[in-house]
Amino acid sequence: MFLSSASRRILAYNQPVDMRKSFDGLVGVVQNALREDPLSGTLYVFFNRRGNYLKLVAWDRTGFVLFAKRLERGRFRLPADGVTQELSERAFRLILDGIVLGTRRRI
């Protein structure tokens, strides 16, 4: 799975992203909007406007990995404001399950 025993940096982009974007489009957001190196191994997390769909993209030694999840009920919520937010693995797993952490901020 994308979360291995080795710790990874997880960076969430709090601005809504067009979920029609695939590998190249999301890597473009990483480079242009986040000013990050997409080959760093960091997991980059993106949300749609409604907050019920997320995608993440990461470099995995031989290529990019793209993961998507849609909640059938509820919304993904991040615990703080800001353009980006670094998440712990534990917080990210809870967010993936649709669990609200700390301050309620709708994506």
When pLDDT is cut at 50, 70 and 90, the band that residue 99 belongs to is confident
| Residue 83 · residue 11 · CB < 8 Å | no
Average pLDDT, the chain: 89
**Domain span at 40:** 10-106
Amino acid 2: pLDDT: 56
Give the DSSP letter of residue 97: T
* Residue 100 within any structural domain of the chain: yes
Q: Is the predicted pLDDT of residue 5 greater than 90, yes or no?
A: no
CA separation for the pair 19, 22 (Å, rounded): 8
Question: Which residues, listed in sequence order, are joined to residue 105 by a DSSP beta bridge?
Answer: 78
pTM: 0.87
* Residue 2 within any structural domain of the chain: no
Q: Regarding beta strands 10-16 and 64-70, do their DSSP bridges make them parallel or antiparallel, or are they unpaired?
A: unpaired
Q: Burial of 52 by CB count in 10 Å (0-12 exposed, 13-18 middle, 19+ buried)? A: middle
Amino acid 103: pLDDT: 56
* Residue 5 within any structural domain of the chain: no
List strands edge to edge, sheet with 10-16. Answer: 64-70, 53-59, 43-47, 10-16, 84-87
- pLDDT tens readout for residues 49-89: 999 999 999 999 899 999 999 999 989 988 888 889 999 99
For the chain, the domain total comes to 1
